[in-house]
Structure 1
Amino acid sequence: MNSLLLALQFLTVIPVTHSFTASQKQLGQSVLFYPVIGLLIGCLLAASSLLLVRYSISTQAVLVLILWVAITGGLHLDGLADCADAWVGGFGNRQRSLAIMKDPAAGPIAVLVLVLLLLLKWSLISSIIEKQALSVLLLTPLLGRLAILMLMSTSDYIRTGGLAEKLIANLPQGAVNITIFLWLLITVFFLGILALVAVFLMIFIIRRLANKRLGGVTGDVYGATVELVEVSILMSVLI
């Protein structure tokens, strides 16, 4: 239970009133619940869409998107913004890129990327709602968080210190592999093979770019992965 609460506390702004001290093992096991938290987010998105059915599709999409951002506290958008600034402002230099990613200030490139991504996401959500494909809203956040597990399992984490390093150091790799396999097996029946292709392709591209520029991944890269994988899934199911 503590591992689940840790995942909920880390990935959302939902208050966790239960007080506990997590062990290193529980910290690593919390990663296994990331897809579950994604499913919870998806349930809230799908439910909100149903409750807003009297509004226009455009309005529904805006409100669903606002909820999507609000429930995570913009955590993953922050990672995407940092990566955007680093990739443009780093000029191909590893140390400069890493330094930019640690800078809390958002540059013009970060703002531009976030605006474009949110506009694209709003447009895609509108189409999803119009097609009444609520299973897409339900499962896209799940796959977005599952992508973190997939990247953790295949990439070196290069930041020293912090929560992510402790998570990866205590990662139950066997359980992670089973978790990834089972969730992919379940979601392919609802979203189709193209959605999974989109997930794997986006992770491959991000991993390749991160390894080339940084020599591995960071927490910001995980955040960017969630956002880009989610958009890729939304696009793939509309093909």
Structure 2
Amino acid sequence: MSGFLTALTFLTRLPAPGFAPERAGDLGRAAPWLPVVGAIVGLIVALAAALGSGAGPWVGALLALLAWTAVTGGLHLEGLGDVADGLGAAHGDPKRFIEVARDPHTGAFGVIAIALQIATKLVLLAAMMQAAESDLLAMAAALALTAAWARWGTLVIARAVPPLGDGLASRLAAGVDPRAVALEGVGLAIVSLFVAPMLIAAVPIAFGLALYWRQRVGGVNGDCHGASIEITESALLLLLILA
């Protein structure tokens, strides 16, 4: 279970007592477990939404968003902000992109991207809760699948796009098995057919993001993966509302 616990401690702030990732496993070993951890994140978000639903969809959406940010530690939002700063300053230069993305300071592009993403998720979650009404179980399943698909997309990108130097992206890519990715994708697609078929759109979204990173930057780093997760989650939430 070291791979699962590594994925859990890396992608979330959930406790794993007595587990030391540096001794029991690395990020590459955790790769197949990313969608599973995503589903756990989605269920926690759904629980928060359900707790606040009695006070109205906006309160439920706010609690869900707070839970989403808290359980992930804002990890993917940070990646989105770093990518926005990098793209704004790099002008197609991969070395400049990495340099800016690694800067611990957040620039104007990053602040704007994070603010817009938070606002987007809040509005989409509220609309989703209004549409779901009393069917909280279906909403929980849809949120779990949304978060799982977003992290499955990370595996596709890690396999399809070369890493930008040594780091998180290269360690993740080393553990990605195309057969496992395909099997997980089929499994998610089968479940989605019964819950929310439009979520299968995560497949073209993942390949579209992979193509974007390859053409725009020439590779991916950890921030690109975080940004991809945020973009995919928002896109799937939008599809759930439009369906």
**Aligned equivalent of 2:157:** 151
2: CA distance, partners of 1:105 / 1:207 = 26
Question: For 2:183, which of 168, 178, 184 is the aligned residue?
Answer: 178
Deviation digits for residues 191-232 of structure 1 (CA, Å, limit 9, x no counterpart): 11x3322x2343233222211232111111110010000000
2: CA distance, partners of 1:12 / 1:110 = 22
Q: Is the 8 A contact 1:151 1:203 kept in 2?
A: yes
Query: How much does 1:57 deviate?
Result: 1.3
1:19-98 correspondence to structure 2 within 5 Å: 19-20=19-20, 21-23=23-25, 27-98=27-98
Inter-CA distance 167–138: structure 2 relative to 1 (3 Å threshold): closer
Question: For 1:203, which of 176, 198, 206 is the aligned residue?
Answer: 206
Mean Cα displacement is larger for which, 56-65 or 210-219?
Answer: 210-219
The number of equivalent residue pairs is: 234
Query: How much does 1:177 deviate?
Result: 2.4
2: CA distance, partners of 1:171 / 1:207 = 15
Query: How much does 1:138 deviate?
Result: 2.6
In the superposition, the TM-score normalised over structure 2's length comes to: 0.89
1: CA distance, partners of 2:18 / 2:177 = 24
Inter-CA distance 181–29: structure 2 relative to 1 (3 Å threshold): farther
1: CA distance, partners of 2:25 / 2:99 = 31
Q: Is the 8 A contact 1:139 1:187 kept in 2?
A: yes
Give % identity: 29
2: CA distance, partners of 1:58 / 1:9 = 30
Query: How much does 1:68 deviate?
Result: 0.3
Aligned pair 1:232/2:235, yes or no?
yes
In the superposition, the TM-score normalised over structure 1's length comes to: 0.91
Aligned pair 1:5/2:10, yes or no?
no
**Aligned equivalent of 1:117:** 117
Secondary structure of 1:156's partner? coil
Q: Is the 8 A contact 1:202 1:228 kept in 2?
A: no
Query: How much does 1:163 deviate?
Result: 4.0
CA RMSD in angstroms, aligned pairs only? 1.7
Name the aligned partner's letter for residue 155 of structure 1.
Answer: V
1: CA distance, partners of 2:170 / 2:91 = 26
Q: Which runs of 5+ in 1 are unaligned?
A: none
Deviation digits for residues 60-93 of structure 1 (CA, Å, limit 9, x no counterpart): 1111101101100011111111111111111222
Aligned pair 1:188/2:190, yes or no?
no
- Bigger relative contact order (CA 8 A; separation at least 6): 1
1: CA distance, partners of 2:108 / 2:215 = 24
1: CA distance, partners of 2:144 / 2:176 = 26
1: CA distance, partners of 2:106 / 2:204 = 28
**Aligned equivalent of 2:223:** 220
2: CA distance, partners of 1:84 / 1:124 = 21
Deviation digits for residues 9-66 of structure 1 (CA, Å, limit 9, x no counterpart): 0000112112352246xx4331111111111111111222222232121111111101
Q: Is the 8 A contact 1:98 1:214 kept in 2?
A: no
Question: For 1:167, which of 162, 172, 176 is the aligned residue?
Answer: 172
Aligned pair 1:99/2:83, yes or no?
no
Secondary structure of 1:19's partner? coil
1: CA distance, partners of 2:231 / 2:56 = 27
